[in-house]
């Protein structure tokens, strides 16, 4: 046996150690027929419902533009470009209207408005009705400014991800996090949601297309997604690398001995 053959043995050993996850556990949506077009109706989408702690961006326009400005004062951002760190974050942040613990916001001239339990479209209609006393044909655009979800566990880029849209799905959040690693358990992804003073722990199966029909497929503000690593990942990170290092060293010594024979 020459050195070239010995190196091949070492490479095979490394591949064997680091590739233990079966292929059958890796693909998504395994029960979906991928050899033809399949269509189904979307019946599980529901718009986001505003809750205490949400930050609303409210933009008002009307036929009398000069009168609009006082209602939009809290959407102005400070445009200081040479600030750094926390100062820059504060200067570039959008203030918005914070929904308080009572589910209310406070607006100029209008006063207190109950918004918890409503969608942004419903809030727009309510505010347009109230503003019609002060403005000619007011138009109100409402958006959630602080929508975010957290993705943690066995993904490429764990982190907190925001969205300027009011629609984010489980698959979109995982894609933002760089997708699951090969060792991430796909049939038991955990969704953690706080709603109505309760906390829900919901298992989701990404290996089945039924995920698209789940009432939890469309995410809510502050949802958490946790991807559990399988045993291969744990053994590889804890003791597998040590064992692999020892095995590689031993095989290298053996290769040198055999090369001299």
- Which CATH number belongs to the domain containing residue 204 in this structure? 3.10.560.10
Closest Cα to residue 218, out of 181, 193, 184?
Answer: 193
Spatial CB neighbours of 85, under 8 Å, sequence gap ≥ 6: none
At 82 the pLDDT is 42
Distance CA 11, CA 183 (A): 21
Confidence of residue 72 (pLDDT cuts 50, 70, 90): confident
For residues 182-196, average pLDDT: 94
Give mean pLDDT, residues 3-25: 58
Pair (195, 255) in one structural domain:
no
Same domain, 155 and 210: yes
Q: What is the pTM (predicted TM-score) of this model?
A: 0.75
Q: How confident is the model at residue 3 (pLDDT cuts 50, 70, 90)?
A: low
Residue 50 included in any domain: no
- Kindly give the pairing relationship between strand 148-153 and strand 224-227: parallel
Residue closest to 204 by CA, chosen among 195, 194, 193: 193
- With cut-offs at 50, 70 and 90, classify the pLDDT of residue 79: very low
Output the average pLDDT for the chain: 83
Cβ-Cβ contacts under 8 Å for 181 (sequence gap 6 or more): 154, 155, 156, 229, 233
Query: Which tokens is 194 given?
Result: 């706080």
Same-domain status, 29 and 151:
yes
Q: Which domain holds residue 256?
A: 3-21+232-260
Residue 72 DSSP symbol: G
Q: Sheet containing 55-61: which strands, arranged edge to edge? A: 97-98, 55-61, 139-144
Query: Quick one: 151 and 222 in the same domain?
Result: yes
DSSP 205-257: -TTSGGGGG-TTSB--TT-EEEE-B-HHHHHIIIIIHHHHHHHHHHHHHHHHH
Residues 113 and 160 in one domain: no
CB 170 within 8 A of CB 191: yes
Q: Do 225 and 160 share a domain, yes or no?
A: yes
Q: List b or e across 126-164, with b for residues whose CB sees 16 or more CB atoms inside 10 angstroms.
A: bbbebbeebbeebebebbbbbbbbbbebbbeeeeebebe
pLDDT confidence of residue 86? 44
- Are 101 and 158 found together in one domain? no
Q: What is the pLDDT of residues 192-242, one digit of tens each?
A: 999 888 999 999 999 999 999 999 999 999 999 999 998 876 665 555 555
What is the per-residue pLDDT across 126-156, written as a single tens digit (0 to 9) for each? Answer: 999 999 999 999 999 999 999 999 999 999 9
Residue 84: which pLDDT band, with cuts at 50, 70 and 90?
A: very low
pLDDT beyond 70 at 32 = yes
């Amino acid at each position: 046996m020459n050195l070239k053959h010995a190196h091949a043995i070492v490479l095979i050993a490394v591949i064997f150690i680091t590739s233990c996850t079966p292929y059958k556990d890796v693909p998504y949506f395994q029960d979906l027929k991928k050899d033809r077009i399949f269509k189904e109706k979307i019946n599980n989408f529901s718009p986001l419902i505003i809750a205490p702690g949400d930050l609303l961006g409210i933009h008002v326009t009307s036929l009398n533009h000069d009168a609009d400005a006082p209602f939009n004062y809290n959407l102005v951002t400070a445009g200081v470009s040479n600030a750094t760190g926390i100062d820059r974050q504060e200067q570039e942040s959008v203030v918005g209207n914070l929904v308080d613990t009572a589910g209310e916001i406070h607006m100029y001239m209008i006063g207190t408005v109950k918004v918890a339990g409503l969608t942004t479209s419903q809030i727009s209609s309510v505010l347009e009705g109230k503003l019609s006393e002060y403005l000619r044909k007011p138009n109100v655009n409402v958006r959630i400014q602080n929508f975010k979800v957290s993705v943690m566990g066995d993904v490429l880029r764990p982190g907190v991800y925001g969205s300027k849209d009011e629609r984010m799905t489980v698959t979109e959040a995982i894609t933002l996090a760089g997708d699951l690693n090969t060792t991430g358990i796909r049939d038991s992804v955990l969704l953690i949601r706080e709603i109505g003073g309760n906390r829900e722990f919901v298992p989701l199966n990404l290996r089945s297309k039924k995920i698209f029909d789940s009432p939890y497929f469309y995410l809510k503000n502050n949802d958490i997604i946790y991807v559990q690593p399988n045993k291969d990942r744990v053994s590889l990170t804890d003791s597998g690398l040590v064992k692999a290092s020892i095995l590689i060293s031993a095989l290298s010594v053996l290769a040198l001995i055999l090369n001299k024979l």
